[in-house]
Amino acid sequence: MDALPSTTMPSLPQNDSPTAQSQRQFQLSLARTNYNYMQSYLEHVPLSAGVPKGEEFSLAYTAKVLPVFLRLAANFKYVVLGILAEELEDDLPTEAIRDVEKAWDKLEDNLSIFHLERDLENLKGLLGSLSKVPRALEGLVRIPADLQRMATGLNQVFEEMLRDGPTALLRSTLFSMLDRDGRRDYLQATGVADYTKLFELLPKPQTLEVTRQPWMKSKAEPYEQDWYFGYLQTAGFNTTILTGVRLDKDAPAYATRLSALLKKMPLTDAILQSVTGDAGLTLKAAAKKRRLYVCDYSMLADARTDPNHGEERYVAAPIAVFYWNPDPGPGYPESNGAMQPIAIQLQQQHDAESAPIFTPNDCADANDAKGLKWQLAKTLVNVACAMQHENVAHLGACHLTLDPMIVAAHRQLSDQHPLLQLLIPHFRFTLNINDNAMHSLVIPGGVVANTVGLKVESSLAMVAEARQAWRWDEQSPDRLFDARGVDAGSLPDFAFRDDTLLLWAAIKRYVTAYLGIYYADDTAVAGDSELQGFISELVSPRFADFKGLNGLKPTGDPQQPFMIDSLDYLIQIVSHIIYIAGPLHASVNYAQYPLMSFSPSVSGCIYNPLPARRTVITSKDKAVGWYPPLDIALYTLSFEYLLSGVQYDTLGQYSDDPREPYFADQRAQEAVSGFQHALALAEIEICGRNKTRPMPYLFQLPSMIPNSTSI
């Protein structure tokens, strides 16, 4: 759904003539036949009932996906087929690969908004070339059965791409290459190095490209070190879990009470003192000084796993405790402090044998003199973090939260409404990508079931539970960090928080300027019948069913129990929608390949029982039994590369041609210019901050954020 015609001048319904108002109502009556809800897929989670006409992927979107896919196809050849015996190398279909490259060059060289029919033919030519690659493999009779199945599965994907476009790659069909009647022979890793080889023709992820600095330990990779594990909690792929640990009387709404933590995990002053090296430090003192933090994955306590092609998988519900150490010592950044990991318990209830406390120096007596179980425990915490990330922080809190907002907006705001015109670029392609996810990813046998490791029922239950607990005002970034006990007054360094608040401020100024053009005061807001319908549908249990919009005014009318009569609160609501669609989604989506694709650091599955006190790990390479097999790891990183590699547009940029601006109202263009200026300043500020960070945090750079949740 691209830019509105320049002749569509915005207006509020109360300012239109009776005839124009009738026309608006007729247009809305048609929209309500196109946009509707369903709640049968996920109970208590309203979603769009299909992809409404006008919300489909465009050819321009397809063109954004293609180059990313080409790199994946090349890597597939070199990695999966590269494990064949060397004597087969001459048989590989290099001519077919060259045909693909030529077809892409033709499409790329000629792509133009003025020749869409020609481009469509070039696109079909490219997809036809792609479909020949696996067919060319069929003559290689010496290919092992697993690899032959992979080629066959890839062929099916290419056929779907020819029919439906490259977004077919987002579906689960690729897993047909992994299927087999009975037991499947996994491609087992023999050591950590095998996972590094999966990135033959793709850029190495950020996990493997961290610049070594003098303060880092020389005998361990950066991703293996404690500073890195601590840093991930504030500058990683999922920064939503970390909460402050406070004394009971001081705990904000979402912070963790020290007494509650100790009931589940018998952490002691002695453990804290041993790990930090501070003989006088106590848990109570650390909590009082706001230096104690925790990531508690209690949401996984009741989750269940399914075997994957006959191989059992396991789930952890860990608790990881951290201390903000102002002087952490060797192995940590030489700065004003760092998040130091203190202890990990892999289950919610402690047991000295089956669920011990792991520490960096084994001071809790977990039979871990070499520290190898501590290393594994950190990885398993990252697995739990990835499970919560994919199901809740990414899918639930971004994609599926936006979904009913989009439906409500189109059902209640006419095309002429300035609010709908403001929001459309931030809604682009979201309903289509969500529909793909619901029908292809989060289904039995789909991508989530194969790469994240939980039963689909457990994944969906996590999504539904998180949505039921979601409260609009509390989730606003100017409130949430305080409620979690990770505000700047408590935790001095939190890369995501510090960067995202720059973008929140820019968005809010932009929305203030834009809405100020059309709403002179609170009276204008209260008198907007379409806006009132939008708000009513957002909070209605029959429709979008959002809770926690505490700035609304009760009306006493059961047909429309709430109304909005505050311009300031409208600005807050609209800013929050744009923030979720852009910066919040970018923070979890675009970190996937950089930080989640190397399985020895992060994966979505556990393939061995959780380590206990009696567990013995003799070397780093012996830990690969807990990691996913190489084929699952390869598909996972490929899928993450696709999701992290497609960016349709850029936050604040609404038109590719300055002579044809998106907004017909010139006054709106002035607001856009101010927004773009603020984002440029934020980019400069974040780049400056990254120069002093132990590892750059890239996922709130405005240039790397699209306007909408479009992938």
3-state SS record for 330-356: CCCCCCCCEEEEEEEECCCCCECCCEC
C-alpha distances in Å from residue 497, one per residue of 288, 382, 405, 490: 22, 20, 25, 12
User: Is 612's pLDDT higher than 80?
Assistant: yes
The pTM score is 0.90
- Give the residue from 347, 199, 201 showing the smallest Cα distance to 264: 347
User: How many H helices and E strands in the chain?
Assistant: 25, 10
The residues pairing with 454 across neighbouring beta strands, listed in sequence order, are 305
587, amino acid identity: S
More confident of the two residues 73 and 244: 244
CB 84 within 8 A of CB 68: no
Beta strand 243-246 with 47-48: parallel, antiparallel or unpaired?
unpaired
Q: Which residues touch 536 (CB under 8 Å, ≥6 apart)?
A: 412, 560, 561, 562, 563
- How far apart CA 144 and CA 187 sit, in angstroms, is 11
> In terms of C-beta distances under 8 Å and separation of at least 24 residues, what long-range contacts does 635-639 make, across chains too?
635/174, 635/175, 635/178, 635/450, 635/451, 636/451, 636/597, 636/599, 636/603, 636/604, 637/198, 637/199, 637/202, 637/205, 637/593, 637/597, 637/598, 637/599, 638/72, 638/75, 638/76, 639/447, 639/451
The pLDDT, as a whole number, for residue 126 is 52
- How far apart CA 172 and CA 66 sit, in angstroms, is 18
pLDDT tens for residues 31-44?
999 999 998 888 88
Confidence of residue 87 (pLDDT cuts 50, 70, 90): very low
pLDDT tens for residues 517-535?
999 999 999 999 999 999 9
The pLDDT, as a whole number, for residue 441 is 74
Angle at which helices 145-164 and 116-137 pack, to 10 degrees? 170
Q: Classify burial at 692, counting beta carbons within 10 Å of its beta carbon; exposed 0-12, middle 13-18, buried 19 or more.
A: exposed
Instruction: State the residue for tokens 């092992």.
Output: 144
Confidence of residue 180 (pLDDT cuts 50, 70, 90): very low
Torsions phi, psi of 325, nearest 5? Answer: -100, 115
pLDDT tens for residues 634-671?
889 988 999 999 999 999 999 988 889 999 999 999 99
User: Is 146's pLDDT higher than 80?
Assistant: no
Distance of CA 226 to the CA centre of its chain: 24
Among 142-156, 480-494, 557-571, the minimum mean pLDDT is found in: 142-156
- How far apart CA 673 and CA 675 sit, in angstroms, is 5
State in Å, rounded, how far the first CA of the chain is from the last one.
Answer: 15
The pLDDT, as a whole number, for residue 142 is 42
Helices (H), 236-345: 258-264, 269-276, 283-288
User: Structure tokens of 388?
Assistant: 């919560």
Instruction: State the residue for tokens 């479909």.
Output: 131
User: Is 137's pLDDT higher than 70?
Assistant: no
Mean pLDDT, rounded, of the chain = 88
Confidence of residue 182 (pLDDT cuts 50, 70, 90): very low
Return the number of other C-beta atoms located less than 10 Å from residue 214's C-beta.
6
3-state secondary structure of 670: helix
User: Is 372's pLDDT higher than 80?
Assistant: yes
8-state DSSP, 557: -
3-state SS record for 369-438: CCCHHHHHHHHHHHHHHHHHHHHHHHHHHHHHHHHHHHHHHHHHCCCCCHHHHHHHHHHCCHHHHHHHHH
